């Protein structure tokens, strides 16, 4: 049954939302974890408190299904038909999914309806359409032999998700992995599991076999770790913090050397050169810095500005921010909702405090919004006079606190941009083509935008350099490479 967004908002108010474990032929004895909405700090429902037994059960069913071939041995065209049906079901339920992410993660409803959920649906359509167009190869051999390079699904895939784009991150992992024929076990973030639960239900309705897709909810240590350490999981594709990414490498090294793909944090630079068109740049700079409450891995959280245009730019940014309404994300006019939870809110707040202590100059913001009830709201905040040795320059905040730093030469700008152990994304603004080529080549990051802010789209691979991750890319046909292994078969006479 389709639920409208108003019905979801009502269920949330009544504390009746639910995300249990979805594992074929397994009755979980797991307890429950409260889902607390960051909008008003109220319990909106429950998720299963999964554990190692649930992971064991999920892996067993996933392995049996994979080896049995019910999904893995279907032709790409057959899997495509099921995945297209699933995509259409997601489309029918898009308002419901948007409302779930809004109440669960505190994301603005307008963003969920217009950006996150459409992108989620597009991702599923895109991989469904692509799978029967991915060819193997034939080696250039002599005529009496034939060498085939064949693509095969890998087997049992663990997908470990963060909370910042719940539905979209589910799609980035599940769409290519499942469409390629693997059996996928999803472990959503414990803070935001509701939309994942609904999407797995819809996948079953579309005809995805239950053993090919399971959901195990719960905490990282109780569910993520047993998944990472399981001897019969072939690969874990992880998106989350660099700290937890490290754990997954350790889990793999101490278990079965499963493949690990890491999409981790960032501290992305935005560079504004002296010749930039400031008026055109301002909306992009603000979007890069504050979109999704800055709970965004590619957030442009370090603004490097040529000293001659810094004051003018800061004035324009302050002015531009006036149209960014902070408030209850159920309000369609709101573009900045609350931080996802109290602990995260406190972390963001501590960055504001430490930057003030270390000599940052507050340009705007810095306050929490006490007039918005008991949710975890932080004003978009800009600090000038941030230097490269300051805490704010080097660390991912994942909240709306922008560090501004000035430079005088192009080389200095590129050096500052690269002065980070992250390398996920970067953007810069200039009208000079020669400079654009040089700077784009000089910056060490996976995605670079010139005169705008973009993470690319479904057609282009997304992933980081340095400690932002490695092992594979999300999006693009390149994402299939994470979940496919190549086998070489020689036919000899």
Tokens of 478: 């390149």
**Closest separation in Å from C-beta 425 to ligand NAD:** 9
Tell the smallest beta-carbon distance from residue 226 to ligand NAD (Å): 9
Give whichever of 264 and 305 is closer to ligand NAD, judged by the CB atom. Answer: 264
Least distance to ligand NAD, CB of residue 243, Å: 6
| Catalytic status, residue 297 | yes
45 binds ligand NAD (CB under 6 A): no
Complete edge-to-edge strand list for the sheet that includes strand 447-450? 361-364, 381-384, 401-407, 302-306, 269-272, 425-429, 447-450
Q: Name which of 269, 313, 273 is nearest 289 in CA terms.
A: 269
Verify binding: residue 228, ligand NAD, rule CB under 6 A.
Answer: yes
Cβ–Cβ under 8 Å, residues 178 and 74: no
Instruction: Indicate whether 225 belongs to the interface with ligand NAD (CB under 6 A).
Output: yes
For position 58 contacting ligand NAD by CB under 6 A, the verdict is: no
User: How far apart, in whole angstroms, are the C-alpha atoms of residue 109 and residue 330?
Assistant: 5
The answer to whether 305 touches 272, Cβ cutoff 8 Å, is yes
Q: Please, are residues 425 and 446 in contact by the beta-carbon 8 Å criterion?
A: yes
263 counts as catalytic: yes
Q: How far is the CB of 422 from ligand NAD (least distance, A)?
A: 8
Does 481 bind ligand NAD (CB under 6 A)? Our answer is: no
Question: Do 160 and 224 contact (CB within 8 A), yes or no?
Answer: yes
Q: Name the strand (E) or helix (H) holding 466.
A: strand 465-466
- Sites for ligand NAD among residues 415-444 (CB under 6 A): 424
Nearer to ligand NAD, 66 or 163 (CB): 163
Closer CB to ligand NAD, 120 or 151, in the complex = 120
Could you tell me which of 373, 295, 370, 397 has the C-alpha nearest to residue 336?
295
| 155/265 with CB nearer ligand NAD | 265
Least distance CB 163 / ligand NAD (angstroms): 4
Contacting residue, 9, 46, 126, 163, with ligand NAD by CB under 6 A? 163
Task: Mention every residue, 6+ apart, whose C-beta is less than 8 A from residue 32.
Answer: 46, 47, 48, 49
Q: What is the token pair recorded at 187?
A: 């472990």
Which two structure tokens, joined as six digits, stand for 467? 């400690």
Q: Which of 112, 217, 297, 405 is catalytic?
A: 297
Distance, in Å, from the CA atom of 136 to the CA atom of 115, rounded to the nearest integer, reads 34
Piece in contact with ligand NAD (CB under 6 A), picked from 28-36, 235-243, 384-392, 413-421: 235-243
Cα–Cα distance for residue pair 154/72, rounded to 1 Å: 9
Residue number with CB closer to ligand NAD (206 or 425) = 425
86-90, Cβ contacts within 8 angstroms, sequence gap of 24 or more: 86/124, 86/128, 86/202, 86/203, 86/206, 86/207, 86/208, 87/121, 87/124, 87/125, 87/128, 88/206, 89/202, 89/205, 89/206, 90/117, 90/120, 90/121, 90/124, 90/199, 90/202
Q: Does 161 bind ligand NAD (CB under 6 A)?
A: yes
Contact between 8 and ligand NAD by CB under 6 A: the answer reads: no
What part of residues 246-285 is at the interface with ligand NAD (CB under 6 A)? 247, 263-266
Cβ-based neighbours of 364, under 8 Å, separated by 6 or more: 317, 318, 321, 379, 380, 381, 382
Q: Which is nearer to ligand NAD, 398 or 480 (CB)?
A: 398
Exactly one of 190, 263, 341, 396 is catalytic; which is it? Answer: 263
Q: How far is the CB of 391 from ligand NAD (least distance, A)?
A: 16
Does position 471 interact with ligand NAD (CB under 6 A)? The reply is no
Binding-site string for ligand NAD from residue 447 to residue 466, where x marks contact by CB under 6 A and - marks none: -----------------x--
Compare residues 147 and 220 and give the one whose CB is closer to ligand NAD. 220
Q: How far is the CB of 169 from ligand NAD (least distance, A)?
A: 6
Beta strand segments in 50-166, E: 137-138, 145-153, 156-160
Q: Does 38 bind ligand NAD (CB under 6 A)?
A: no
Active site residues: 263, 297
Residues that bind ligand NAD (CB under 6 A): 160-164, 187, 189-190, 220-221, 224-225, 228, 239-241, 244, 247, 263-266, 297, 396, 398, 424, 464, 468-469
């Amino acid at each position: 049954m389709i639920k409208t967004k108003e019905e979801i908002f009502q269920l949330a108010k009544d504390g009746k939302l639910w995300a249990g474990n979805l594992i074929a032929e397994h009755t979980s004895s797991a307890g429950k974890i409260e889902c607390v909405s960051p909008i008003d700090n109220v319990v909106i429902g429950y998720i299963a408190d999964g554990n190692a037994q649930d992971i064991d059960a999920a892996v067993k069913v996933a392995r049996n299904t994979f080896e049995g071939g019910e999904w893995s041995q279907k032709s790409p065209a057959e899997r495509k038909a099921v995945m297209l049906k699933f995509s259409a079901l997601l489309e029918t339920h898009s308002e419901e999914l948007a409302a779930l992410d809004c109440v669960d993660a505190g994301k603005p409803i307008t963003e969920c309806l217009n950006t996150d959920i459409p992108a989620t649906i597009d991702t599923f359509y895109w991989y469904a359409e692509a799978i029967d167009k991915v060819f193997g190869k034939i080696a250039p051999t002599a005529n009496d032999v034939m060498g085939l390079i064949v693509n095969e699904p890998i087997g049992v895939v663990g997908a470990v998700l963060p909370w910042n784009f719940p539905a979209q991150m589910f799609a980035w992992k599940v769409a290519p992995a499942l469409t390629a024929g693997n059996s996928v076990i999803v472990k959503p973030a414990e803070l935001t599991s509701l939309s994942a639960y609904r999407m797995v239900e819809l996948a079953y309705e579309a005809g995805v076999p239950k053993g090919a897709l399971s959901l195990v909810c719960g905490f990282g240590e109780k569910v993520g770790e047993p998944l990472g350490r399981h001897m019969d999981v072939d690969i874990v594709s992880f998106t989350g913090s660099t700290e937890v990414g490290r754990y997954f490498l350790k889990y793999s090294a101490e278990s079965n050397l499963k493949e690990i793909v890491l999409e981790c944090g960032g501290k992305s630079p935005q560079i504004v050169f002296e010749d930039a068109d400031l008026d055109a740049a301002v909306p992009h700079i603000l979007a890069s810095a504050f979109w999704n409450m800055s709970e965004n891995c590619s957030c442009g959280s370090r603004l490097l500005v040529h000293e001659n245009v810094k004051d003018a730019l800061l004035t324009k940014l302050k002015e531009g921010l006036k149209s960014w309404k902070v408030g209850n994300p159920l309000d369609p006019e709101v573009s900045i909702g609350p931080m996802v939870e109290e602990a995260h809110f406190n972390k963001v707040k501590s960055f504001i405090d430490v930057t003030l202590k270390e000599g940052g100059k507050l340009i705007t913001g810095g306050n929490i919004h006490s007039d918005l009830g008991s949710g975890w709201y932080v004003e978009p905040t800009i600090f000038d006079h941030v230097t490269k040795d300051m805490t704010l320059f080097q660390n991912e905040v994942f909240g709306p606190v922008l560090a501004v730093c000035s430079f005088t030469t192009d080389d200095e700008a590129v050096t500052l941009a690269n002065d980070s152990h992250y390398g996920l994304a970067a953007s810069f603004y200039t009208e000079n083509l020669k400079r654009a080529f040089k700077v784009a080549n000089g910056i060490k990051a996976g995605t670079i935008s010139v005169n705008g802010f973009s993470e690319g789209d479904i057609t282009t691979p997304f992933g980081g350099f340095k400690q932002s991750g490695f092992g594979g890319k999300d999006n693009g046909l390149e994402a299939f490479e994470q979940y496919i292994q190549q086998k070489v078969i020689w036919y000899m006479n």
